[in-house]
Structure 1
Amino acid sequence: MERRAFRINGFAVLLGLLVLLAVLAWIALTGGQVTMIAAAVVAALLLVVVGSGFVVVNPNEAQVVQFLGRYVGSVNDAGLQWVLPFTSKRRITLRVRNFETAKLKVNDADGSPVEIAAVVVYRVTDTAKAAFSVDDYEEYIAIQSEAAVRHLATSHPYDSHEDSNTSLRDGAEVAAELTTELVDRTELAGVEVLEARITHLAYAPEIAQAMLVRQQAAQVVAARTHIVSGAVGMVQLALNRLAEEGVVELDEERKAQMVSNLLVVLCGDRATQPVVNAGSLYA
């Protein structure tokens, strides 16, 4: 768990160190040879001890401080800081970062091979976990992101066959599910996943043409269904208007013939040619 390390403003410590060095220089100049040597030794020790505690922290960065292998805290205040001497420091960036997975080839829930890739937006929120819970948090994020994308692709079909099913093409729902899974997977590394979205989704090249034909057929069926539904309504409206206004009285046989002719005209995919009957209607 992250905690704040002991730190002092580096400029204040630097000013104090300069004052001490000035005092030691005055003592060395006013004393004898032994005093000069002693002052030089003390000055060198001060430079080594105090100087080892200085650290520069950049904006949106943190320094993880260790003393003899023990974690003593993190410093995330930007500027020149002074921490305990003889400590090691490791820089951890707190900036928002992007990671895009490679194009992965996996089988969707229907068993069809698809190519899928995603982009993950994240940032470090716990520097202690990022530094010590995993070997390399960036590599950890990359591997977990690819694993989550593979799991997502195998859990949903490319296209939804029923309105109640979620497909990989449902951008908002799929992004929310992927983000939730990555939040659970990356919590160990002290990382907060802000957003995860699919950036590439396509059928694999070996079945892309066949899937295109299937999609076109599905669209044709959907369009024909809509046309037939509208045509039936128009025929019903025409028959009702003829009956209400008394334009003509039709028996059941002529109604059936009229319905057949209207449906041919309305549902046909080519323009129809009218045929004028110059004789009797029953000829």
Structure 2
Amino acid sequence: MYTEKIIKPPSGYLTLVLFLILLAGGIYALSIESFLTGGIILAINFILVLPGLIIVNPNESKVLTLFGKYVGTVKSDGFFWVNPLTVKRKLSLRARNLNGQQLKVNDKMGNPIEIAAVIVWQVNETAKATFAVENYLQYVNIQSEAAVRHLANSFAYDNMEDESAEITLKDGAEKVSVLLEEELNERLSRAGIDVIEARISHLAYAQEIASAMLQRQQATAVIAARRLIVEGAVGMVEMALEKLSQKGIVELDEERKAAMVSNLLVVLCGDRHVQPVVNTGTLYN
């Protein structure tokens, strides 16, 4: 019902020449006092010829309707003449940016987050954009917001909330953008809109939980760093005991080994400089 029909009307330059000829003929008829003939010629010229001239700029189109019926769309840029009784609606085909506002929604795990997206789109089918929806600009804004909200509800913010998640809003930027673009194309196809690109432009926890989540991230980072330090320290202690045993520098019983391991771990894992203590006696007194 709303299939786009592209038409190629005749050039407007020949019609412009005809307009000038009729204009000259009407003026001549009036000059020789043939008012009826001159009036008819001028009426035909200004009512049937001149209104049919249209100019289509690059990346623009003219949607034509005649007595409520869709006639076709002129997409070629240039100077043309069409049926003067048609209603002509200009529709831009240029790519447009939609900088979405920041939305406060809940992610998959129920955490309140702030999210926004930048969408690049353009009109692909002029008939659908004109007749299938009431206002295609408003339709793009509302459906884009709905798509971003649905996307945020479908995934967790990061893997701290859902460790088994393959895609998260924070770490899966490319995959999330692809999914958002696919959903937008599906939603906006009714209005003849083609989404060129869609990307998340803003993503953060909502203010009421941002401080707590920051502390959690910092604690996670500290734990990860400590785990790495401990793994490295244990490896170094193991290497030290192995080297001492291989070279036979000193014979250590189990108690001395335990004391040495304890001291080395304190030195290697401590977050402050260690103050050495010289023991002038023995381990047993």
For the criterion TM > 0.5, the same-fold answer is yes
Q: What is the one-letter code of the residue matched to 1:176?
A: V
The 1:98–1:108 alpha-carbon spacing in structure 2 relative to 1, beyond 3 Å, is same
Partner of 2:136: 137
Identity across aligned pairs (percent)?
51
SS in 2 for 1:273: coil
Partner of 1:210: 212
Q: CA deviation at 1:24?
A: 4.8
Alignment RMSD: 1.9
CA deviations on 1:132-157 (whole Å, 9 max, x unpaired) are: 11111111111111111111111111
Q: Distance in 2 between matches of 1:17 and 1:248?
A: 114
Correspondences of 1:219-258 after superposition (within 5 Å): 219-258=221-260
Q: Distance in 1 between matches of 2:229 and 2:274?
A: 16
Runs of 4+ in 1 over 4 A off after TM superposition: 23-30
1:120 and 1:197 in contact (8 A); partners too: yes
SS in 2 for 1:154: helix
SS in 1 for 2:89: strand
1:52 and 1:87 in contact (8 A); partners too: no
Q: Distance in 1 between matches of 2:38 and 2:237?
A: 111
Q: What is the one-letter code of the residue matched to 1:199?
A: S
Greater mean alpha carbon deviation, residues 6-15 or residues 18-27 = 18-27
Q: Distance in 1 between matches of 2:89 and 2:249?
A: 92
TM-score by length of 1: 0.92
Q: CA deviation at 1:16?
A: 2.3
Partner of 1:77: 76
Q: What is the one-letter code of the residue matched to 2:254?
A: E
Partner of 1:199: 201
Q: Distance in 1 between matches of 2:166 and 2:8?
A: 54
Q: CA deviation at 1:70?
A: 0.8
Q: Distance in 1 between matches of 2:147 and 2:213?
A: 25
Q: What is the one-letter code of the residue matched to 2:279?
A: N
Q: How many residues align?
A: 280
2:8 and 2:76 in contact (8 A); partners too: no
Q: Distance in 2 between matches of 1:242 and 1:183?
A: 68
Runs (5+) with no aligned partner, structure 2:
none
Q: CA deviation at 1:25?
A: 4.5
CA deviations on 1:211-268 (whole Å, 9 max, x unpaired) are: 1111111111111111112222222222222222332222232222222221111112
Runs (5+) with no aligned partner, structure 1:
none
Q: What is the one-letter code of the residue matched to 1:234?
A: M
1:40 and 2:39 are equivalent in the alignment: yes
Q: What is the one-letter code of the residue matched to 2:169?
A: L
Q: CA deviation at 1:79?
A: 2.7
Partner of 1:13: 15
Q: What is the one-letter code of the residue matched to 2:65?
A: Q
Partner of 1:127: 126
Partner of 1:65: 64
Q: CA deviation at 1:5?
A: 2.6
Q: Distance in 2 between matches of 1:73 and 1:6?
A: 9
2:147 and 2:180 in contact (8 A); partners too: yes
Q: CA deviation at 1:282?
A: 4.4
1:7 and 1:84 in contact (8 A); partners too: no
Q: Distance in 1 between matches of 2:219 and 2:166?
A: 20
2:19 and 2:50 in contact (8 A); partners too: no
Q: Distance in 1 between matches of 2:14 and 2:271?
A: 86
SS in 1 for 2:98: strand
Greater mean alpha carbon deviation, residues 246-255 or residues 220-229 = 246-255
Q: What is the one-letter code of the residue matched to 1:262?
A: L
Greater mean alpha carbon deviation, residues 268-277 or residues 20-29 = 20-29
Partner of 1:185: 187
Q: CA deviation at 1:59?
A: 1.7
Q: Distance in 1 between matches of 2:180 and 2:152?
A: 10
TM-score by length of 2: 0.91
Q: Distance in 2 between matches of 1:245 and 1:182?
A: 70
SS in 2 for 1:81: strand
